[in-house]
């Protein structure tokens, strides 16, 4: 009899375990299915949340000045962002696409015209003489030169054309993120309470403090790193367009990447200034050089004011976040990566510095029985 009861109990246990496993499997399947559906929108959603958190104080001021419904403030917010950020980006994107398509097609067709090499290259150690000979061959007989490295150049041309497609997708994701940010800002009060509640459920009584730290970190990196990088690269691109520099959009994008990874735009500015002195009149070249110099040092003025008001993040974290973001998520990852990695670093270090969870005080000895 005892063995029969034990058998029935084990059967019931197996049945309950099987039911739980099936339920968990269905839940995991549903979560995986949902993630597959929203996966193309993950990066724009994250970037939209970052934009909403970073620009919430500006949205509040806009809402107060308009004295209208939140939806009106959100609509004006979208228009301002599209005009201030997307319009210059589209202007530069046109030159970027044209330059990349021009180089890629010429590399593939072998009709790219090259000037003769400077004689100073011969003085370069190790690579000077072979580089000079190859450059001289390419300037006189491009087909023969391409015959030596034809497969590599065709691969480069394909990569350049693929990069144009990724840039267009990234720009579209950026526009979607702005609309997502506007929708989140309309419901900012409820979203803030939800964030605090989630943090409380995950961390405990310190949850709201960690949520506030996350908001401060996002605003610090968005203003001090990404905001400065966008301002500098857009101003640099407008300067390139003003003097009619070939590939202005591509050069501005390279400036943006260099600024975000904390290298700075000087690696681009110095060669283009030298090139402008070579092809333009002295007055134009001097004005352009002054403009490039001001754009290069602009971060020294803006960063202490913007980054110093928030949470300090090591530049190595920003560098790794920018490079990793580009490799995993394309152009939009250049902005999302540094913020996400800086946020994780800040919350982790804050957790390490925290003491044990506060507990109710024990009754005093005189109050004990």
Q: Return the domain boundaries, the chain.
A: 225-351
pLDDT score for 356: 55
> What does 206-245 look like in DSSP terms, one character per residue?
THHHHHHHHHHHHHHHIIIIIIHHHHHHHHHHHHHHHTT-
CA atoms within 13 A on the CB side of 95: 19
Average pLDDT over residues 182-205: 80
**Between 7 and 198, where is the model more confident?**
198
Q: What tokens does 336 get? A: 């999302």
Q: Which two tokens stand for residue 187?
A: 């419901």
CB 266 within 8 A of CB 237: no
Q: Summarize pLDDT for 78-123 with one digit per residue, the tens.
A: 888 888 777 776 666 666 666 666 655 555 555 556 667 777 677 7
Mean pLDDT of 190-200: 80
pLDDT greater at residue 361 or residue 212: 212
Of 1 and 65, which is predicted with more confidence?
Answer: 65
Q: How far is CA 240 from the centre of its chain?
A: 23
Residue range 323-339: average pLDDT?
Answer: 80
Conformation bin of residue 264: beta by default, left when phi > 0, alpha when psi is -120 to 50: left
Q: How many CB atoms lie within 10 A of CB 168?
A: 14
Percent of the chain, pLDDT > 90?
Answer: 2
pLDDT at 294: 92
CB crowding 46-62: b at 16 or more within 10 Å, else e: bbbbbbbbbbbeebeeb
pLDDT at 163: 64
Find the mean pLDDT for residues 230-251.
Answer: 84
What pLDDT digit, counting tens, does each position of 285-309 carry? 899 999 999 999 888 877 776 665 5
Q: What is the pTM of this model?
A: 0.65
Give Cα 222 distance to the centre of its chain: 10
Radius of gyration over every alpha carbon of the chain, rounded to an integer in angstroms: 28
Inter-residue contact 131 to 149 (CB < 8 Å):
no
Q: Say how far apart CA 22 and CA 17 lie, in whole Å.
A: 9
Is residue 365 scored above 50 in pLDDT? Answer: no
Task: Report the candidate in 107, 99, 102 with the shortest Cα–Cα distance to residue 244.
Answer: 99
CA atoms within 13 A on the CB side of 278: 7
**Which of these, 267, 204, 253, 229, lies nearest to 97 by C-alpha position?**
253
CB atoms within 10 A of CB 312: 11
Section 269-290 average pLDDT: 86
Long-range contacts of 163-172 (CB under 8 A, 24+ apart): 163/100, 164/96, 164/97, 164/100, 164/101, 166/330, 166/331, 167/93, 167/96, 167/97, 167/253, 167/331, 168/93, 168/97, 169/330, 169/331, 170/330, 170/331, 170/332, 171/86, 171/89, 171/90, 171/93, 171/331
More confident residue, 103 or 326: 326
Contact (Cβ atoms closer than 8 angstroms) between residue 208 and residue 199: yes
Residue 314 is predicted with a pLDDT of 80
- The average pLDDT across 185-190 equals 81
Q: What is the pLDDT of residue 69?
A: 84
| Phi, psi of 113, rounded to the nearest 5 degrees | -90, 130
User: Which has the closest alpha carbon to 232: 304, 141, 295?
Assistant: 295
Answer whether residue 253 shows pLDDT above 60: yes
Statement: residue 154 has pLDDT above 80: no
Confidence bin at 125 (pLDDT 50/70/90) = confident
Is residue 159 scored above 70 in pLDDT? Answer: no
pLDDT over 50 (residue 368)? no
Q: Which residue has the tokens 């995986």?
A: 32
pLDDT value of position 364: 43
pLDDT of residue 145: 67
Residue 366: the pLDDT is: 40
Where is pLDDT greater, at 359 or 279?
279
pLDDT value, residue 363:
44
């Amino acid at each position: 009899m005892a063995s029969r009861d034990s058998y029935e109990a084990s059967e019931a246990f197996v049945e309950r375990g099987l039911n739980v496993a099936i339920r968990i499997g269905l839940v995991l399947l549903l979560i995986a299915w949902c993630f597959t559906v929203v996966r193309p929108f993950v990066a724009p959603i994250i970037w939209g949340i970052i934009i909403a958190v970073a620009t919430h104080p500006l949205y509040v001021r806009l809402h107060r000045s308009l004295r209208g419904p939140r939806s009106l403030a959100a609509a004006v917010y979208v228009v301002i962002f599209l005009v201030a950020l997307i319009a210059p980006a589209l202007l530069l994107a046109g030159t970027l696409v044209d330059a990349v398509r021009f180089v890629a097609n010429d590399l593939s067709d072998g009709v790219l015209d090259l000037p003769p090499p400077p004689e100073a290259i011969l003085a370069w150690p190790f690579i000077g003489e072979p580089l000079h000979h190859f450059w001289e061959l390419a300037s006189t007989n491009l087909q023969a030169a391409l015959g030596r490295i034809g497969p590599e150049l065709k691969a480069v041309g394909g990569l350049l054309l693929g990069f144009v497609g990724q840039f267009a997708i990234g720009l579209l994701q950026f526009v979607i993120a702005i609309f997502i940010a506007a929708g989140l800002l309309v419901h900012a009060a409820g979203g803030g309470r939800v964030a605090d509640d989630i943090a409380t459920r995950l961390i405990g009584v310190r949850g709201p403090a960690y949520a506030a730290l996350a908001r401060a970190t996002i605003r610090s990196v968005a203003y001090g790193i990404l905001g400065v990088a966008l301002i500098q690269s857009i101003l640099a691109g407008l300067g390139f367009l003003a003097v009619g520099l070939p590939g202005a959009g591509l050069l501005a994008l390279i400036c943006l990447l260099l600024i975000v990874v904390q290298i700075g735009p000087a690696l681009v500015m110095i060669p283009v200034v030298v090139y402008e002195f070579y092809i333009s009149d002295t007055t134009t070249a001097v004005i352009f050089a002054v403009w490039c110099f001001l754009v290069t040092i602009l971060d020294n003025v803006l960063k202490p004011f913007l980054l110093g008001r928030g949470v300090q993040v090591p530049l190595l974290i920003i560098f790794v976040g920018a490079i990793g973001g580009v490799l995993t998520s394309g152009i939009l990852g250049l902005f999302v990566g540094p913020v996400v990695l800086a946020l994780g670093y800040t919350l982790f270090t804050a957790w390490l510095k925290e003491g044990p969870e506060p507990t109710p005080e024990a009754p005093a000895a005189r109050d004990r029985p």
